[in-house]
Amino acid sequence: MVDYSIINKETWSRKNTFDYFKEFELPFFNITANVDVTNLKQRCAEDDSSYFLASLFFAMKAANDIPEFKIRIHGDEIIQYNEVRVGSTIQYDDHSFGFCYFPYIESLEEFLVAGDELLKKVMAEKSFAPKDGSDDLLHFSVIPWLHFNGFKHARRIGMEDSIPKIVFGKYEMHENKLLMPVNVEVHHALADGYHVGQFFEKFQGYMM
């Protein structure tokens, strides 16, 4: 059972912003910034654990700290989930891709175990499964071949979509630090630059 509450728009502090941006044909904005993953890479190497799953965990943890990353538009209602999960693209050995859905787990160690089992299952099934029927999610993609400085998502115009989208790029060494580009896209009726800035701050803090 997914826990959520309905936001009273009339008393909501974002009412005016929501009413303005909800009418936009493309009400999304995105920001790309580098995060320092030096310590995380070292920890994963020492523990022989998955850097992909660890970075996914800390990004999920950071997003769950920010209420605006858990708000969704459902027709005429605005809801806020108690917690959100992760749906991420997964590449297969033939360079095609599918999707894997990871539960919200508060413990890194438990998430790594559960995530590894899920990845093995999805790799074996090699399914596409672009949706699992709910939006208590964060959409993740990984572009490990490029240290990008911007990103634009494919979209269906007119389709109701208020799920934040996060993309990890290729990490590179800069001045003795491993820096990974991260792109975050949100619905502007639900979140602003301040909230995206909070995400980057918390994400970076968890990985140090």
Q: What share of the chain is helix, strand, coil (3-state, %, to 5)?
A: 35, 30, 35
Q: pLDDT tens-digit profile of 33-64?
A: 999 999 999 999 999 999 999 999 999 999 99
Complete domains list, the chain, with CATH:
27-207 (3.30.559.10)
pLDDT at 127: 85
DSSP 153: -
What does 58-108 look like in DSSP terms, one character per residue? HHHHHHHT-GGGGEEEETTEEEEES--EEEEEEE-TTS-EEEEEE---S-H
Amino acid in the structure at residue 65: D
- Here the tokens at position 178 are 């491993």
Query: How many other CB atoms sit within 10 Å of the CB of residue 190?
Result: 25
Q: Which residues of 133-164 are buried (b: 16+ CB within 10 A; e: fewer)?
A: eebbbbbbbbeeeeeeeebeeeeeeeeebbbb
| Cα 80 versus chain centre, distance | 16
pLDDT at 1: 67
Q: Which parts of the chain sit beneath pLDDT 70?
A: 1, 132
